[in-house]
Structure 1
């Protein structure tokens, strides 16, 4: 799935900042591909970008209208459709990561055919993937793994990509979820791939490369999550990682959506992920951990990360608060 850039970010009638978190993530990590924002009457949030009409964005070279807002149920709002039709008539593709598919709405499909435009449902892969082969391949890959879902795996890998490129290294973020795909402009939403082909899809996403090239692979779920461990294991085997980054949110009371399941210990998470990763790469190792400390004040965050670093014997950072330089140092030390 490859999206044309630059983007016009559609905020629609978002009720608050959280409703537009997808657009906010795109703008945070890829401001250079965001031409402007389009808000409907009643929108309660802004990215601080220039407000544009479809016509203005088209005149400035926008290639894709990206739906950066989500509503309850992930549906295409009735008030949005006229904008989408106008955008396609003006020469823009449409991309969305909602549960409801653009391609399931006949009037949008008809307009796309009429104007020669594309509708991207980034949550739903359309490619056919092979079964994984597990054969060693060239290049280096870093995979984010977690104690739970939604602990910052995407942010960790995007931060690693940025830091490696700042040092002149060859590096690419490899998206495996819908928001990551919209940020990167390409990728595979692996949680929508048939189970037998998750590892094969991941091999396709990050194939053999130059030996000095790093793929930063967005992780999904957790090996300890009763709902999503299958996706996590498929990613581990398909990514064939040389390096792993442990992602964690301190203080989380239980696994996301599973009140009866406590989070694993950090040591157990490191041990199980290493054992699974070494099936396809016996030299796989952890280079550090990324903590989401957004719920803690500065002093508490520093204390928690220091204690974890002592406990695990590796660097622990918050990629938003302080960056990932210690992890990059450790990654490059074996290059």
Structure 2
């Protein structure tokens, strides 16, 4: 799935900042591909970008209208459709990561066909993927794994990509979820791939490359999550990672969506991920951990990360508070 850039970010009538988190993530990590925002009456958030009509965005070179807002149920509101049709008529493609598909709305499909434009439902892959082969391939791959869902795996890999590129290294973020795909402009939403082909899709996503090239593979779920462990395992085998980064939120009371399940011990989580990763790469190793300490004050965050670093014998960082330089140093030291 390859999206044309730059983007016009559609905020619709988002009631708050959280509702527009997809657009916010795109703007944070790829500000250079965002020409403006489109807000409807009632929108209560902004990215600080120019407010543009579809026509104005097209004149500025926008190639894709990205639906950067989510509502309850992930549906495409009826009053959004006129804007989407206007975008198609003005030469823009449309991309969305909602549960409801753009391609399931006949009037949008008809309009896209009339003007020769594309509708991208990034949550729903359309490619046919092979079964994984597990054969070693050149290039270096770094995979984020987690104690739970939604602990910062995408953020960690994007931060490492940015840091590595700033050092002049060959590095590319490989998106495996809908928001990551919209940020990167391409990728595979692996949680929507048929189970037998998750590892194969991941091999396609990060194929053989130069020996000094690094793929930063966005992780999903957790091997310890009763709902999503299958996707996590498929990524471990398909990515064939050389390096792993553990992602964790200190103080989280239970697994996301599963009140009866506690988060795993860090050592146990690392051990199981290593054992699974080493099925396809016996040299796989952890280079450190990324903690989401947003719920802690500065002193508590420093204490928690220092204690974990001492215990694990690896650097522990918060990508927001402290950056990921120590993890990149570790990768390059082990390369």
TM-score interval, normalised by the smaller of the two chains: over 0.9
How much has 1:334 moved relative to structure 2? 2.2
Aligned residues: 335
- CA-CA distance at 1:302 after TM superposition: 0.3
Structure 2 counterparts to residues 245-260 of structure 1, below 5 A: 245-260=245-260
Give unpaired runs (5+ residues) of structure 1: none
Q: Distance in 1 between matches of 2:308 and 2:195?
A: 34
Q: Which residue of 1 aligns with 2:333?
A: 333
How do 1:1-335 and structure 2 match up within 5 A?
1-335=1-335
> Which TM-score applies when normalising by structure 2?
1.00
Q: Distance in 2 between matches of 1:254 and 1:60?
A: 47
- Structure-2 separation of matches of 1:231 and 1:319: 24
Question: Offset of 1:161 from its aligned partner?
Answer: 0.2
Deviations 1:54-75 (CA, angstroms, capped at 9, x unpaired):
0000000000000000000000
In 2, Cα distance between the equivalents of 1:56 and 1:216? 35
TM-score by length of 1: 1.00
What is the rounded CA distance, in whole Å, between the counterparts of 1:328 and 1:251 in structure 2?
Answer: 26
- Paired with 1:292 and 1:66, the residues of 2 have a C-alpha distance of 27
The CA distance in 2 between the partners of 1:212 and 1:59, in whole Å, is: 40
Cα displacement (A) at 1:100: 0.2
Separation in 1, partners of 2:318, 2:33:
26
Moved over 2 A (4+): none
Q: Which runs of 5+ in 2 are unaligned?
A: none
| 1:79, distance to aligned residue in structure 2 (A) | 1.1
Q: Matched residues in 2 for 1:217 and 1:66: separation?
A: 23
